[in-house]
Amino acid sequence: GWQVSMKSGSLSCILPCNRLPVQLMSQVRVYTSNGQKKDLGSEDTNGSARGETPHKVETGRQDTSNAGQKQSSPKQPIQVKVKAVLKKREYGPKYTQNNFITGVRAINEFCLKSSDLDQLRKIKRRSPHDDTETFTVYLRSDVEAKSLEVWGSPEALARERKRRKEEEIKYRENLFRNQRLLWEYKEFFGNTKPRSSTAAMFFKGPGKVVMVAICINGLNFFFKLLAWVYTGSASMFSEAIHSLADTCNQALLALGISQSARTPDPSHPYGFTNMRYIASLISGVGIFMMGAGLSWYHGIIGLLHPHPVESLLWAYCILAGSLVSEGATLLVAINEIRRSARAKGLSFYQYVVQSRDPSTNVVLLEDAAAVLSVAVAATCMGLTSLTGNPYYDSVGSLGVGTLLGTVSAFLIYTNTEALLGRSIEPEQLQRLTELLESDPVVRAIHDVKATDMGMSKVRFKAEVDFDGRVVTRSYLEKQDIEQLLQEIQQVKTLEELEAFMLKHGENIVDTLGAEVDRLEKDLKQRNPDVRHVDLEIL
């Protein structure tokens, strides 16, 4: 049977065993955050003394054997120690009492004035921005209390928020009227950051290449159109359409370059860089529709309904002039791509295939196709002049259309890949990974993703397993160890221990955040292409 004996600070259980009675010695203390202590197991209950023998089953044979074993085997107590733990604090599904908010957010969301914030506690925290080290924040609970003090009740605050929201909607609707006021506001206060002029972008780099191509292709279209009207050549018509398509597409590229220089806004936090790829993609589609489509159409019509071709002398002269002008534009594009590829450490072919600069790529491929198409058109027109067979001229038109279709397919493919967000080169990704893993604060990195956002801008993301010992040592190296030891020796109660751990625990977390900022800064400094870094803590 069972015999339970309770003593002060101990628990004695005599089990129904024929071998050995076991005595458990333990004392359980439950601590709460207010320092209260509760003792369990302090009652002295002896079943044999008080006459209480729960679940007791007696048999003559068991009593005889138990009595003999009690005399022969000594008692071996087993002591079990229970750790003291804090009582778990319930925060509920929503807890915002310790949240920090900025002054701008406090003014906008809680309808306060800057003078109201002067009366609140100001807390200096580590800034998330690269240009500042610290910035001022406020406790959300203080801001909420101040807003209720100013507005009187949550209902009044809600009405004021609704009123301001309606005014904001009206302001957005009338934004066009307020543009002049906004311009005067900017002139009065000045711009916080210098912005490059849009016009200056077209005097260097890809903008210069595009503007040169627009001027030359516009002149080529005009003269080719005159030659087609004079001769009626299908090949010359294809060349005129080709030059028109090039002029329109390069005007679209110029629009994309100007739009890509726009400053990021809340709706587009990563900027408008992809506008160049979008313009290049539309340009590729335009080449296919206007250039290849019309050339094929005119060539097929020439095969079905051939007609004699007039004197081609003027056509040859215009084609020769187009060859020189298109070749000059092609050389400008080649030199620009070589310079950019050399700066990135890439070969000419890699730079073109990866579509690092979509605007220059379009000009390069269009001018290369123009030079080849001039050669094809001149050859077919020459065969027509020698043989008198107009079918050669129609075949030349089909050849020019096929060449333009190939160029458009390549542009559509490369720009679509860029817009989808492709990964960077494995060698560059390996360098970024090794840079993180070589830091002593990092144990391992997982789920590494590096996306090419276009125009030499990379977004890097990784989940990092930090070494807590190294982070803690980094915090301790900045502390006065003797003073820290004195604080530890002064800890006597549970409240003092909790306050000590909360104070230094928060500081260690801040140190971890500073280490994350340091790693992100190192990645950006050693790899200028990396513009956005997201390190997630495991």
For 149-188, how does the pLDDT look when each residue is reduced to its tens digit (9 = 90+)?
999 998 999 999 899 888 888 877 776 666 666 665 555 5
By the 8 A CB rule, do 61 and 7 touch?
no
For 315-353, how does the pLDDT look when each residue is reduced to its tens digit (9 = 90+)?
778 778 888 888 888 888 888 888 888 887 788 888 888
pTM for this entry:
0.61
**245-264 burial: b if 16+ Cβ within 10 Å, else e:** bbbbbbbbbbebbbbbbeee
Residue 17 lies in a domain: no
| Statement: residue 411 has pLDDT above 80 | yes
Tell me which residue of 217, 361, 176 sits closest to 283, measured CA to CA. Answer: 361
Tokens coding 511: 């140190």
Tokens coding 223: 């003269």
| Largest CA-CA distance found in the chain, in angstroms, rounded | 136
| Statement: residue 36 has pLDDT above 70 | no
Report in angstroms the alpha-carbon separations of 62 from 2, 16, 43, 66, 74. 12, 9, 29, 6, 19
Tokens coding 347: 């070969």
For 101-154, how does the pLDDT look when each residue is reduced to its tens digit (9 = 90+)?
888 888 888 899 888 888 898 888 877 776 677 888 898 889 989 999 999 998
| Statement: residue 20 has pLDDT above 60 | no
Domain tally for the chain? 3
* pLDDT band, residue 199 (cuts 50/70/90): low
The domain that holds 305 is classified in CATH as 1.20.1510.10
Per DSSP, 17 falls in state -
Report in angstroms the alpha-carbon separations of 470 from 281, 439, 466. 49, 11, 8
Residues 6 or more apart in contact with residue 109 via CB below 8 angstroms:
101, 161
More confident site: 199 or 463: 463
Per DSSP, 452 falls in state E
By the 8 A CB rule, do 365 and 324 touch?
no
* CA 482 to the chain's CA centroid: 44
pLDDT, residue 422, reads 82
Task: List, in sequence order, the alpha helices (H) in 190-293.
Answer: 205-231, 234-260, 275-286
Q: How far apart are CA 508 and CA 500, in angstroms?
A: 12
More confident site: 331 or 51: 331
Q: How far apart are CA 105 and CA 290, in angstroms?
A: 52
The mean pLDDT value for 178-201 works out to: 56
Task: Tell me, yes or no, whether 270 and 391 share the same domain.
Answer: yes
Query: What is the pLDDT of the chain when averaged over all its residues?
Result: 77
Task: Tell me, yes or no, whether 415 and 434 share the same domain.
Answer: no
For 446-487, how does the pLDDT look when each residue is reduced to its tens digit (9 = 90+)?
999 998 887 778 899 999 999 999 999 999 999 998 999 999
Q: How far apart are CA 81 and CA 1, in angstroms?
A: 27
Task: Tell me, yes or no, whether 268 and 401 share the same domain.
Answer: yes
Tokens coding 524: 């950006």
The domain that holds 520 is classified in CATH as 3.30.70.1350
SS3 40: strand
From 154, 188, 222, give the residue that closes a domain. 188
Work out the burial of residue 456: count CB atoms within 10 Å of its CB; fewer than 13 is exposed, 13-18 middle, 19 or more buried: middle
Task: Tell me, yes or no, whether 433 and 414 share the same domain.
Answer: no
Q: How far apart are CA 99 and CA 96, in angstroms?
A: 5
Worst-scoring range by mean pLDDT, 5-9, 36-40, 108-112, 470-474? 5-9
Report in angstroms the alpha-carbon separations of 249 from 207, 254, 272, 355, 370. 14, 9, 19, 17, 14
Continuous segment of H or E residues that includes residue 490: none
Task: Tell me, yes or no, whether 225 and 353 share the same domain.
Answer: yes
From 188, 221, 249, give the residue that closes a domain. 188
Task: Tell me, yes or no, whether 450 and 415 share the same domain.
Answer: no
Tokens coding 358: 């979509």
Domain that holds residue 401: 202-420
Task: Tell me, yes or no, whether 403 and 384 share the same domain.
Answer: yes
| Statement: residue 298 has pLDDT above 70 | yes
Task: Tell me, yes or no, whether 466 and 532 share the same domain.
Answer: yes
The mean pLDDT value for 16-21 works out to: 44
Task: Tell me, yes or no, whether 414 and 294 share the same domain.
Answer: yes
From 394, 420, 446, give the residue that closes a domain. 420
pLDDT, residue 83, reads 63
Tell me which residue of 177, 178, 191 sits closest to 263, measured CA to CA. Answer: 191
Q: How far apart are CA 180 and CA 405, in angstroms?
A: 47
Residue 44 lies in a domain: no
* pLDDT band, residue 442 (cuts 50/70/90): very high
Task: Tell me, yes or no, whether 288 and 337 share the same domain.
Answer: yes
pLDDT, residue 91, reads 75
Per DSSP, 89 falls in state P
Task: Tell me, yes or no, whether 412 and 350 share the same domain.
Answer: yes
Residue 295 lies in a domain: yes
Tell me which residue of 245, 227, 246 sits closest to 235, measured CA to CA. Answer: 227
* CA 383 to the chain's CA centroid: 58
Residues 6 or more apart in contact with residue 71 via CB below 8 angstroms:
none
Task: Tell me, yes or no, whether 431 and 532 share the same domain.
Answer: yes
The domain that holds 111 is classified in CATH as 3.90.530
Q: How far apart are CA 255 and CA 529, in angstroms?
A: 24
Q: How far apart are CA 364 and CA 246, in angstroms?
A: 11
By the 8 A CB rule, do 290 and 245 touch?
yes
Tokens coding 212: 């040169």
Q: How far apart are CA 306 and CA 308, in angstroms?
A: 7
Residue 211 lies in a domain: yes
In what order do the strands lie in the sheet containing 123-126? 100-102, 134-139, 123-126
User: Contacts from 15-20 at CB under 8 Å and sequence distance 24+?
Assistant: 16/62, 18/65, 18/66, 18/69, 19/69, 19/73, 20/69, 20/73, 20/76
Residue 31 lies in a domain: no
Among 74-78, 180-184, 314-318, 419-423, the range of highest mean pLDDT: 419-423
